[in-house]
Chains A and B, each alone.
Chain A
Amino acid sequence: MTAGPLLELAGVSKRFGSIIVADSLSLVVRGGDAVGMVGPNGAGKTSLFSLISGDLSPNSGEVHFEGRAVTRLDSAQRCRLGIARTYQVPRSFEHMTVFENVLVAAYRGAGLRGHAASSLAAGVLDEADLRKQANSPASRLGLVQRKRLELARALGCKPRLLLLDEVAAGLTEPEVAGLVEVIERIRARGVAVIWVEHVVRALVGMVDRLICLAGGRIIGDGEPLAVLASPAVKDVFLGTSYGEASQT
């Protein structure tokens, strides 16, 4: 176990014109943590992921991964260091096969070669239950399988920190349950997970820490049920008193 934190954000801010998506965010994640993240639409959840993964670079603040400053590294470099993400709208390689999709990750993200790379890719496909589709083009997959491919491709990078952006959105209850099972197994291997999801039930069952974002700020951080119960979170996340009334 490394002594320091796995991921550390210090005063990270990001603006697009007058819109602030990250307002001096500070955050520490330790190796093996399972963190859930919730917040209303536009709270800055996906932007925060992009700031961690390197798809966006902050206007100010620092990002450290395993004690190393990664603020100025692009997403490919951060991926090779051990940060992998999925995208809310899958970014599959449409005209490549499912196996090839994951193989790129094993070659580049995990830095493996030859047999080691194809073994990892095949193993990840087993884990994501995509082995049967291994040789079909990604364009032939349905939504559930696409979400699984997003996950498989991130796993193919052999990450130590996995960012999951709404992998369960649009899935049915049993499909979500299957996915949670897969994520549990990934966690059991010591991979830290940050999981953004609107399906709060799926999150609360799995994570041991919940962060609530609103307006680019962290307004709740701690034990999941306690966070959900806090007045500030209730107010923003469930809406105003009108929203709370309609929930019953």
Chain B
Amino acid sequence: MIESAPSATPQRVTRSRRSARWNAVAGAVAVAVLASLPYLVYANVTGVLVNLFILLSLATLWNLLAGYAGLISVGQQAYIGIGAYAVFVLADNGLSPFLAIPVAALVSGLVAVPASFLLLRLRREYFAIATWVVAEAVLLAVLRSDSLGGGTGATLRGLSDLDPALRQAYTYWAALAVAVATLLGTYLLLRSRVGLDLTAIRDNEIGARSVGVRVALAKGIVYFVAAAGAGAAGGVLIISQLFVQPTSVFSVQWSAYMIFVALIGGLGSIEGPIVGTVIFYMLQQTLADRGAWYLIILGSVAVLMAMWVPRGIWGLISDRFDLRLFPVGYFLHPARGTVKVKS
């Protein structure tokens, strides 16, 4: 009985105003250059970059949680730890630690599913506190488990017969692969229809629900993806340190770093955490030998940014130059040669 809305002139929809081909080429070149670094620079440089890639992955996922789904988690360290211990257990059973990383991601993701049923019922601040409680609960379970080394921690096996230079190169590539997979996965997720849901939820959750968006499902997907990514990052962490210490891998400090990076870079965009990670590492490198001042300056920067630049450095850049490195939007091209008549 009901006709559809008056059909419009044929239209064309693309994912960005300009062609994004050059962005893709630039991205591929950047990854290729980074991938060739172990041949070009000393291991101490790639060692720093391993930590940078871990933090980049974590901050990207935290931005997905907080910047899009509105989930302020301070408990992602639960999944970092689960990922690290999963790699430890798998390597103990003879699997190559590098091949164990994707399995660890899956394990963390699967643990997150039942946890999300409980956590996603909670509103903002209760959710935040509960995520931390979950992380502490996982820590306590690990501390009591003798097979996981209890409080002393666990040493990763399976890499000792590898030449150290080769091991460092492999570790670097694994960290790069996890970071690229995280960014690419986030990009593809945000480009999908679920991504449009998430962007709507980011801007107005009640509004999103009122146009039929399954808010709980979208949040569940994000929580799963963020946990799986943190698991992969935890896997890289134990490989790079060859050792995992429970109170350090389950430390809330991880969440503090993720939040710092996402905040200074800018929430609600893929580019923000990339910019944030670079700034964080520049600060860390310049302030490394200043002891306590390092943390004081880091904290002050975070407070000042939150007060005066709430959308972060990338927010400033993208507003000023209308710049998007990752085209996730929809661009409606004007209908050719037709002038719309009606009111």
Encode contact with B along A82-119: 1 for CB under 8 Å, 0 otherwise.
00110100011111110111011101111100000011
Q: Which residues of B in the span 239-271 have a Cβ within 8 Å of any Cβ on A?
A: 268
Give the docked Cα–Cα distance between A120 and B245 (Å).
56
A126 pairs with B342, CB closer than 8 A: yes
Q: Which residue of B lies closest to A153 (CB)?
A: B211
Q: Does A124 contact B (CB under 8 A)?
A: yes
Task: Choose from B11, B196, B202 the contact partner of A107 (Cβ within 8 Å).
Answer: B196
B332 pairs with A122, CB closer than 8 A: yes
Q: Which residue of A lies closest to B215 (CB)?
A: A76
A129 pairs with B343, CB closer than 8 A: yes
A182 pairs with B343, CB closer than 8 A: yes
A190 pairs with B209, CB closer than 8 A: no
> Contacts A76-B213, A99-B330, A153-B211: A93 and B4 contacting too (C-beta < 8 A)?
no
A contact residues around B2 at 8 Å (CB): 158, 160, 189-191
A85 pairs with B210, CB closer than 8 A: yes
B204 pairs with A93, CB closer than 8 A: yes
Size of the chain B interface, CB-CB below 8 angstroms = 37
How far in angstroms is the closest Cβ of chain A from B35? Answer: 34
> Contacts A96-B203, A122-B332: A104 and B208 contacting too (C-beta < 8 A)?
yes
Encode contact with A along B95-106: 1 for CB under 8 Å, 0 otherwise.
000000000000
Residue of B196, B199, B330 most packed against chain A (CB within 10 A):
B330
How far in angstroms is the closest Cβ of chain B from A135? Answer: 6
Give the docked Cα–Cα distance between A103 and B91 (Å).
47
B212 pairs with A157, CB closer than 8 A: yes
Task: Choose from B196, B206, B331 the contact partner of A104 (Cβ within 8 Å).
Answer: B196
How far in angstroms is the closest Cβ of chain B from A127? Answer: 6
Encode contact with B along A62-96: 1 for CB under 8 Å, 0 otherwise.
00000000000011100110001101000111111
B contact residues around A178 at 8 Å (CB): 343
Q: Does B200 contact A (CB under 8 A)?
A: yes
B contact residues around A123 at 8 Å (CB): 4-8
Q: Does A53 contact B (CB under 8 A)?
A: yes
B330 pairs with A103, CB closer than 8 A: yes
> Contacts A92-B207, A93-B203: A99 and B6 contacting too (C-beta < 8 A)?
no
How far in angstroms is the closest Cβ of chain A from B247? Answer: 40
How far in angstroms is the closest Cβ of chain A from B220? Answer: 14
Encode contact with A along B322-343: 1 for CB under 8 Å, 0 otherwise.
0000000111100000001011
How far in angstroms is the closest Cβ of chain B from A154? Answer: 8
Q: Which residues of B in the span 165-187 have a Cβ within 8 Å of any Cβ on A?
A: none
Q: Does B124 contact A (CB under 8 A)?
A: no
> Contacts A74-B209, A155-B5: A104 and B204 contacting too (C-beta < 8 A)?
no
A157 pairs with B6, CB closer than 8 A: no
Q: Which residues of B in the span 1-19 have a Cβ within 8 Å of any Cβ on A?
A: 1-8, 11, 13, 17
How far in angstroms is the closest Cβ of chain A from B326? Answer: 15
B contact residues around A158 at 8 Å (CB): 2, 4-5
Residue of B196, B213, B332 most packed against chain A (CB within 10 A):
B332
How far in angstroms is the closest Cβ of chain B from A145? Answer: 13
Q: Does A30 contact B (CB under 8 A)?
A: no
Q: Does A181 contact B (CB under 8 A)?
A: yes
A94 pairs with B332, CB closer than 8 A: no
Task: Give 9 closest A-B pairs by Cβ, nearest first.
Answer: A91-B207, A109-B212, A108-B212, A93-B203, A105-B211, A79-B212, A123-B8, A123-B5, A122-B8
Residues on B facing A (Cβ under 8 Å): 1-8, 11, 13, 17, 193, 196-197, 199-200, 202-204, 206-215, 268, 329-332, 340, 342-343
Sample (16) of A-B pairs whose CB atoms are under 8 Å apart: A53-B210, A74-B209, A76-B210, A87-B210, A91-B210, A99-B13, A100-B199, A100-B329, A100-B330, A103-B196, A107-B196, A119-B7, A127-B342, A135-B331, A158-B2, A189-B2
Apart from the given pairs A74-B209, A75-B210, 20 other A-B contacts in the complex at a CB distance below 8 Å: A75-B209, A87-B210, A93-B208, A100-B330, A103-B330, A105-B211, A107-B193, A109-B212, A110-B212, A121-B332, A122-B11, A129-B342, A135-B17, A135-B332, A154-B211, A178-B343, A182-B343, A189-B3, A190-B1, A190-B2
